[in-house]
Structure 1
Amino acid sequence: MAGTLVPFDMATLLDSDEAISEYLSQVLADGDTDELLRALGHVARARGMTQIARDTGLGRESLYKALGSQGNPEFATIIKVMKALGLKLHASTA
């Protein structure tokens, strides 16, 4: 019995503040910079990339590129995206 596979889209699972917080916390704990950028892209898509672009003052296409697999955004861009998403970066000792 053959079935049709549909592409997995992480953004569809990020439907609450709690899901987003848990997802980003896990990605941060893993310490993979590339994965963090991808995760921020998933969250931005879940929340609406057009609105995030407006809130950051950046172009929507620029955000897709910066948060995509080949992106290399400046730290200031990451902070703008996090602020637009209502996220705060906290530091603590282990």
Structure 2
Amino acid sequence: MKTKTRRTLQQIIKPDEIAHEAYAVLVQKHVASRRLSKEFLLDRLQERAVYTEFLKLCMEYDYKGDLQSLREGLAVVIKAIGPGKVAKATGLNRVTLYRMLGEDGNPSLNNLTALLRALNLSLWIVDKEFYGLREQVRRRSGRPFKGK
């Protein structure tokens, strides 16, 4: 007898869609949907594909230029993965991680690149034309993101 497996909405959503929703909820502080709870988003941010897209959004939509959105995003990802695990991979202690990503944090380039390497990521440089060409990011609900 064949058994049918029911796939939930959470199982079929693509990583980039989860990343967009996580950005809206966890960084921009929008209300989480019933189907994609804050806990679900944090759980999925442990996956490399999801946190990579999430951090791209944090960097791309950091309009203030002080890396606040990126620092918030990195703090969320570290919380999801586990601060001890990330600290061990970077060679930095947990207190240093929290301080450099906090509200008044100002991470050095060495610490930032160490953190990104631990996440299997790297920095890229793009020109202003890139920002003019990007398409507007939308939440799953169809509502556009707005800068802080």
Normalised to the residue count of structure 2, the TM-score between the two structures is: 0.51
Q: Does 1:16 align with 2:16?
A: no
Within 5 Å, give how 1:20-59 maps onto structure 2: 20-32=51-63, 33-59=67-93
Deviation string, structure 1 residues 38-71 (Cα, Å, up to 9, x no partner): 1111111211111111121111111111112221
Residue pair 1:47, 1:85 contacting (<8 A) in 2 also: no
Q: 2-side partners of 1:51 and 1:31: how far apart?
A: 27
Instruction: State the partner residue of 1:3.
Output: none
Q: 2-side partners of 1:78 and 1:11: how far apart?
A: 21
Q: 2-side partners of 1:17 and 1:39: how far apart?
A: 14
1:22 positional shift: 1.6
Structure 1 segments unaligned to the other structure (5+ residues): 1-7
The structure 1 residue matched to 2:105, chosen from 56, 71, 88, is: 71
Identity score, percent = 28
Q: Which has the higher helix share?
A: 1
1:79 positional shift: 0.6
The count of corresponding residues between Structure 1 and Structure 2 is: 87
Structure 2 segments unaligned to the other structure (5+ residues): 1-37, 131-148
RMSD: 2.0
Equivalent residue letter for 2:102: G
1:92 positional shift: 3.9
Equivalent residue letter for 2:74: L
Normalised to the residue count of structure 1, the TM-score between the two structures is: 0.76
1:84 positional shift: 0.8
Equivalent residue letter for 1:16: E
1:13 positional shift: 4.7
Displaced runs of 4 or more, over 3 A: 8-13
Residue pair 1:28, 1:36 contacting (<8 A) in 2 also: yes
